Amino acid sequence: MSSSLCAPLGTRRGRGGYVEDGSSRQDVPIVVREGVYLTWEELWVTMSKPSGKDGKKAIILESQTGYAKPGELLAVMGPSGCGKTTLLDALAGRLNSKAKQTGDILINGRKQALAYGTSAYLTQEDAMLTTLTVEEAVYYSAQLQLPDSMSKFEKKERAEFTIKEMGLQDAIHTRIGGCGSKGISGGQKRRVSICIEIITRPNLLFLDEPTSGLDSAASFYVMNRIARLNKTDGIQRTIIASIHQPNTQVFQLFHNLCLLSNGKLVYFGPASAANKVRIWRSLVCVSVQLLSCVV
Ligand SMILES: Nc1ncnc2c1ncn2[C@@H]1O[C@H](COP(=O)(O)OP(=O)(O)OP(=O)(O)O)[C@@H](O)[C@H]1O
């Protein structure tokens, strides 16, 4: 990986930046940070087979190489079971104990652990207390996650700003809800989960299927909010999101694309410059694999 991609990690704080919240301009503190360049080379992940009888390991990811840059959104795509979550888990350092990982993962060009608060990970499931309102869920999370050096007022301000950033101001007093007690919609739930993950303003954001269960309009709304994050708070954030079947509008938000099939890398590069023939050929291969699984 080129050394020009390796920038130092650091933080600068400033005041008086402007934020577009869609309706009005607000004067809010802006945290200006150098970003996280994440690179991975020859990354393999194997797992013990559940039976463990033959002692063999299943290859989940094969020879993955790629990068994610500050200010950019990398989409990880591919059919169900191809290894998208495993790739995100490996990069985030949260593989389970059954998994064995080889290869290099570099942060700003160096092998180092991610510092506390540098990254956040949105899992596929929304785990929230159903009786809380949107405001309570995000504010309590701010109280728990933000440092003691911040006052209660600052934490509340941060929670309110994050709620606005995700376009949830109209649902702020609505309960999350769940089975038996209808609350906010599925798309709003995903956005509350994102609020909880971004409340600490992490430089690196892993999103595992942020649009799962959403229709095409709601998916675009959520992804557009995610893509706009860097513009609203001044952080050149590195975002890696696994995603299923994005529509054209959502696809246009991606800077880079990592396409997987059966644990192998089929394409890595700019989403806009993805060679259509190559992508279509890959998709045909993936479809054939899916069909053979069904048959
Ligand atoms: N703990 C585990 N033990 C054994 N195999 C596993 C384990 N976790 C995942 N796998 C297997 O690894 C493969 C990749 O799983 P992964 O969850 O990464 O796929 P995915 O592309 O994210 O799928 P989906 O889109 O359905 O969420 C699958 O075949 C899965 O069964």
Instruction: Tell me whether strands 204-208 and 119-122 are parallel, antiparallel or unpaired.
Output: parallel
pTM score, whole prediction: 0.80
Residue 34 has what pLDDT?
Answer: 65
Residue 192's identity, in one-letter code, is: V
Backbone angles phi, psi at 99, to 5 degrees: -90, 140
**ipTM above 0.90 for this complex:** yes
Instruction: Supply the DSSP symbol for 28.
Output: E
Helix (H, G, I), strand (E, B) or coil at 102: strand
Give the residue, out of 46, 64, 86, 122, with the most ligand 1 atoms within 8 A of its beta carbon, to mutate for a pocket test: 86
Please provide the DSSP assignment of 231-252 as one string: HHH----EEEEE-SS--HHHHT
Return the closest-CA partner of residue 70 out of 238, 253, 270, 198.
238
101 C-alpha to ligand 1 centroid (Å): 14
The per-residue pLDDT for 204 is 93
Pocket (CB within 6 angstroms of ligand 1): 47, 58, 60, 78, 80-86, 96, 98
Compute CA distances 199 → 31, 112, 151, 263, 286, whole Å: 12, 24, 15, 32, 37
User: Which structural domains are found in the chain, ordered by start?
Assistant: 3-118+203-294 (3.40.50.300), 126-201 (no CATH)
Which atom from ligand 1 is nearest to the alpha carbon of 242? 22
Q: Give the model's pLDDT for residue 15.
A: 32
What does pLDDT average to over the chain?
80
99-155: per-residue pLDDT in tens? 999 999 999 888 887 777 788 998 887 777 888 999 999 999 999 999 999 999 999
Ligand 1, atom 12: closest residue by C-alpha: 60
By three-state DSSP, how is residue 181 classified?
Answer: strand
211: Cβ contacts below 8 Å, ≥ 6 apart: 190, 218, 219, 222, 223, 243, 244, 246, 250
Q: What is the pLDDT of residues 168-210, one digit of tens each?
A: 999 999 999 877 788 898 888 889 999 998 898 899 999 999 9
In the block, which residue shows the tokens 């675009």? 220
DSSP code of residue 175: B
Q: How far apart are CA 104 and CA 109, in angstroms?
A: 10
pLDDT at position 235: 76
Structural contact between residues 48 and 57, judged by C-beta atoms closer than 8 angstroms? yes
Number of residues that make up the chain:
295
Residue pair 11/31 in contact (Cβ under 8 Å)? The answer is yes
Handedness of CA 13, 10, 243, 130 (dihedral sign): negative
Please report the pLDDT score of residue 274 as a whole number.
72
String of b and e for 146-174 (b: at least 16 CB within 10 Å)? Answer: beeeeeeeebbebbbbbbbbbbbeebeeb
Strand partners, 39: 67, 106
For 44-89, what is each residue's pLDDT tens digit? 999 876 655 566 778 999 999 999 999 999 999 999 999 999 999 9
From atom 14 of ligand 1, which residue's Cα is the shortest distance away? Answer: 83
Q: Is the pLDDT of residue 19 over 80?
A: no
User: Following CA atoms 96, 213, 81, 87 in sequence, which dihedral angle do they give, to the nearest 10 degrees?
Assistant: -50
Contact 282, 266 (CB under 8 A): yes
Query: Which protein residue has the closest C-alpha to ligand 1 atom 26?
Result: 80
Confidence of residue 39 (pLDDT cuts 50, 70, 90): very high
